[in-house]
Amino acid sequence: MAEVVVAGRGRPGELLLSELRLVFGRRRNQLALLVLAGPPLLITIALKTRGDHAGRGEGPPFLDSITQNGLFVALAALSIEMGLLLPLATALVGGDSIAGEAQTGTLRYLLTVPVGRTRLLLVKYVGIVVYVGAGALLVSAVGMLSGLALFGGGTLTTLSGTPMPMGTAVVRVLLATAYVAAGLAALGAVGLFVSTLTEHPLAAMLVTVVISTASFILDEIPQVDWLHPYLLTHQWAAYADLFRDPVDLTNIGRGLYTDLAWAAVALLLARARFTTADITS
pLDDT digits (tens, 9 = 90+) for 234-260: 999 999 999 999 999 999 999 999 999
5-12: long-range contacts (C-beta < 8 A, 24 or more apart)? 5/110, 5/113, 5/115, 6/113, 9/113, 9/114, 10/113, 10/114, 10/115, 10/119, 12/119, 12/123
- pLDDT above 90 for 123: yes
171/246 Cα distance (integer angstroms): 16
- pLDDT above 80 for 141: yes
Confidence band, pLDDT 50/70/90 cuts, at residue 144: very high
Q: Which helix (H) or strand (E) holds 196?
A: none
- The stretch 190-201 carries a mean pLDDT of 95
State the chain's mean pLDDT as an integer: 89
- The reported pLDDT for the residue numbered 58 is 58
- The stretch 82-94 carries a mean pLDDT of 96
Q: Quick one: 276 exposed, middle or buried, by C-beta within 10 A (0-12, 13-18, 19+)? A: exposed
112/48 Cα distance (integer angstroms): 57
143/45 Cα distance (integer angstroms): 11
Which of 117, 191, 144, 151 has the alpha carbon at shortest distance from 49? 151
Q: Which helix (H) or strand (E) holds 163?
A: strand 163-164
- The reported pLDDT for the residue numbered 113 is 61
- The reported pLDDT for the residue numbered 278 is 67
Confidence band, pLDDT 50/70/90 cuts, at residue 51: low
Give the global pTM.
0.91
Confidence band, pLDDT 50/70/90 cuts, at residue 67: confident
Burial per residue of 79-116, b for 16 or more beta-carbon CB atoms within 10 angstroms, e otherwise: bbbbbebbbbbbbbbbbbbbbbbbbeeebebbbebebe
Segments in the chain forming alpha helices (H):
2-8, 12-25, 27-50, 72-81, 85-96, 99-104, 107-110, 117-151, 166-195, 201-219, 250-276
